[in-house]
Amino acid sequence: MDTSVHSHLHVVANRVACSACSLHPICLPAGLRSADLTHIDHRLVAARRKVARGEKLFRAGDRFVSLYAVWTGCFKTCVSARDGRGQVTGLQMCGELLGNDGIASRRHEIDAVALEDAQVCVIHYDEMEELWREVPALQQQFHRLLGRDIVRQQLQMLLLGSMYAEERVAAFLLDLAQRMHLRGYSASTILLRMSREEIGSLLGLTLETVSRIFSKFQTEGLLTVRNRQLAISDEAGLRRIHDGLAERVSAPPRVARAASA
Amino acid sequence: MDTSVHSHLHVVANRVACSACSLHPICLPAGLRSADLTHIDHRLVAARRKVARGEKLFRAGDRFVSLYAVWTGCFKTCVSARDGRGQVTGLQMCGELLGNDGIASRRHEIDAVALEDAQVCVIHYDEMEELWREVPALQQQFHRLLGRDIVRQQLQMLLLGSMYAEERVAAFLLDLAQRMHLRGYSASTILLRMSREEIGSLLGLTLETVSRIFSKFQTEGLLTVRNRQLAISDEAGLRRIHDGLAERVSAPPRVARAASA
DNA sequence: CGCGAACTTGAGGCGTGTCAACCCCTGTGG
DNA sequence: CCACAGGGGTTGACACGCCTCAAGTTCGCG
């Protein structure tokens, strides 16, 4: 139940220098002046840790002592209810923060699982708090990341609460493409790191529905998908579907009411 | 598009003292030592503002300059998509923070609407940042609140993604009862501040479904509801439904797969 | 070369959305 | 005081989108 058993495992580097990391423009130190950046070198990141594919970085109930910045690979986060049901709530890629679910209660409330062999930068929360006094910009950036997560989750709630399955899948693919592009990868040729089941769980759908919609999109010429190799060929078409502008047979409004006044 | 037009409206008090507010044990200053508490008096809260029922405290696109702590009344927050569809993403009661959706982009991304005549404490974000240097505990409490919101939203995603309508309604009622109780109100006799439509939107359901489930719960003796006057008579029964333990005819697992390994 | 996991595809059922009719309550103006 | 309008809520009939179940295929890997 405690993370201490993990904390010394797979540590591959100690006291890492952010200024030497190619990810720093999109990671926690984004926007720092170079003086501040070198100032946090060897101080913000306590260590790097390896997490093998399928392994948990932390799990619900673990004591919260540090945040993690994804360096290589990617992760999924999962909440689970008492009765065993669970749901994927997010997909984290390199440069993104993991573990903020533990800030409130000082225990992690969810699981974080590596979708491929991955490495993370370990950031001890207490140490970061002290660094803030010396580098206020670091704190502002941290708040920006927390705020971004909050907004992202609200959009996910909109998706889960009032979108059709096709719109959800289109939204997922567009978000994925955009985030890949931001990291210098192709926005059209993507290797999916999640199974159909995991994608379905993230979108509140079953794996069969995801599979069917992939096939449908393929026959409509929007994309090509073969197992986990995905190629988006009509991004505008996906965006049209995402925005609910697809030609539905007598387009029903689908809970378009509410939420306004 | 700018909040400046609001900022001087309905201001009913300037420079409020948190130590004199009965809400401080559950609000932002929770857990502060009394020396710290008096130290932030007249400095954390710049003003109190009135918001009439149905009015927006802020709307998507407004410039983000301050957070708001609900003092009296309650609010709903709503995201909306380009196509006009929208969704209620949360219900905020007294002592809770509003506006953190603007931290990342310095613009509010959602709307906040008063569900009844309400008053909020205006907390200028820049000024709070300065206060943190003098009162670190205030900052920690702020992080705790952000972290709590993040966890709360993940649970809402679990609800929206993998629960039956009856389970969602039960979860909503239990959450509501618990939060009312925390504020010194009855956990069983509750005046609903949201319409069926708003509740439905929050839960990813239609108003008709909410109404039907209220009726069903009533005939099952779990509660009594007449318009917005609600009385919970069997909390344990609601909890059983929420946990998916209700006697479904040949209980289907409903996407119970996924999210685990 | 064969096994299991992941994926695809089809047929059918079910949960909940949609549409519509009706009731109740409240406020308004004659 | 009543007539009326309008918004919120209830209830029923029906439709439909997605889940469930099942069979078959492909892929990855020993």
Give the CATH number, domain containing residue B85. Answer: 2.60.120.10
Q: Are residues B227 and B108 in the same domain?
A: no
Residue B113: strand pairing partners = B56, B76
For residue B254, is it within any domain? no
Q: Which CATH number does the domain housing residue B197 bear? A: 1.10.10.10
For residue A251, is it within any domain? no
Question: Strand D and chain A: which residues 206-245 have CB closer than 7 Å?
Answer: 206, 208-209, 226-227
Q: Hey, what amino acid is at B84?
A: G
Residue B88: strand pairing partners = B78
CB distance from B204 to chain A under 8 Å?
Answer: yes
Share of chain B above pLDDT 70, in %: 91
Residue pLDDT tens, chain A, 261 long: 444 445 456 788 788 999 999 999 999 999 999 999 999 999 999 999 999 999 999 999 999 999 999 999 999 999 999 888 899 999 999 999 999 999 999 999 999 999 999 999 999 999 999 999 999 999 999 999 999 999 999 999 999 999 999 999 999 999 999 999 999 999 999 999 999 999 999 999 999 999 999 999 999 999 999 999 999 999 999 999 999 877 665 444 555 433 333
Average pLDDT over residues B1-23: 73
Burial class of residue B86 (count of CB atoms within 10 Å of its CB; 0-12, 13-18, 19+): buried
For residue B251, is it within any domain? no
Q: Hey, what amino acid is at A246?
A: A
Q: Are residues B18 and B60 in the same domain?
A: yes
pLDDT of residue B184: 96
For residue B206, is it within any domain? yes
pLDDT score of B136 more than 80:
yes
Q: Are residues A104 and A24 in the same domain?
A: yes
pLDDT of residue A206: 98
pLDDT of residue A88: 98
Q: Are residues A23 and A88 in the same domain?
A: yes
Q: Do B147 and A101 lie within an 8 Å CB cutoff?
A: yes
Task: Return the closest-CA partner of residue A239 out of A195, A179, A194, A178.
Answer: A178
Q: Are residues B130 and B62 in the same domain?
A: yes
For residue A130, is it within any domain? yes
A159, B204 Cβ separation under 8 angstroms? no
Q: Are residues B43 and B139 in the same domain?
A: yes
How many CB atoms are located within 10 Å of the residue A151 CB?
19
Assign B255 a pLDDT band (cuts: 50, 70, 90).
low
Place of tokens 């959706």: B101
For residue A28, is it within any domain? yes
**Domain closes at, from B158, B175, B197:** B158
The three-point CA angle A225-A227-A229 to 5° equals 55
The Cβ-side half-sphere exposure at B2, using a 13 Å CA radius, reads: 4
β-strands B56-58, B111-114 pairing: antiparallel
Q: Do B79 and A153 lie within an 8 Å CB cutoff?
A: no
Per the structure block, which two tokens stand in for A150?
């909050």
For residue B255, is it within any domain? no
What is the four-CA torsion angle of A184, A190, B159, B53, rounded to 10 degrees? 50
Domain residues for the domain of A40 are 3-158
For chain A, the distance separating the N- and C-terminal CA atoms, rounded to the nearest angstrom, is 46
Q: Are residues A181 and A142 in the same domain?
A: no
Average pLDDT over residues B56-82: 96
How many CB atoms are located within 10 Å of the residue B254 CB?
14
Number of domains in chain B: 2
Residue B70: strand pairing partners = B120
pLDDT of residue B261: 31
DSSP class of B101 = G
Q: Are residues A171 and A137 in the same domain?
A: no
How many CB atoms are located within 10 Å of the residue A105 CB?
13
Q: Are residues B152 and B33 in the same domain?
A: yes
pLDDT of residue A255: 52
- Calculate how close chain A gets to B41, using CA atoms only, in Å: 23
Q: Do A101 and B156 lie within an 8 Å CB cutoff?
A: no
**B residues 38..57 contacting A (CB < 8 A):** 54
Q: Are residues A118 and A104 in the same domain?
A: yes
Question: Strand D and chain B: which residues 191-230 have CB closer than 7 Å?
Answer: 192, 195-197, 207-208, 210-212, 214-215, 225-228
Q: Which helix (H) or strand (E) holds A158?
A: helix A136-162
For residue B39, is it within any domain? yes
Residue environment code for B205-236, b if the CB has 16+ CB neighbours within 10 A, otherwise e: bbbebbbbbbeebbeeebbebeeeebebeebe
Per the structure block, which two tokens stand in for B259?
């999210």
Gap between the Cα atoms of B66 and B102, Å rounded:
9
Q: Are residues B116 and B200 in the same domain?
A: no
β-strands A66-72, A118-124 pairing: antiparallel
DSSP class of B192 = -
β-strands B97-98, B66-72 pairing: antiparallel
Of B157, B197, B207, which is closest to A89 when you measure between CB atoms? B157
Per the structure block, which two tokens stand in for B72?
């009296």
Query: From start to end of chain A, where are the E strands?
Result: 11-16, 45-51, 56-58, 66-72, 75-80, 86-92, 97-98, 111-114, 118-124, 189-191, 223-226, 229-232
B186, A139 Cβ separation under 8 angstroms? no
Q: What are phi and psi of B168, to 5 degrees?
A: -65, -45
Q: Are residues B182 and B213 in the same domain?
A: yes
CB distance from A251 to chain B under 8 Å?
Answer: no
What is the edge-to-edge ordering of all strands in the sheet holding B223-226? B189-191, B229-232, B223-226
Distance of CA A149 to the CA centre of its chain: 9
Average pLDDT over residues B55-59: 96
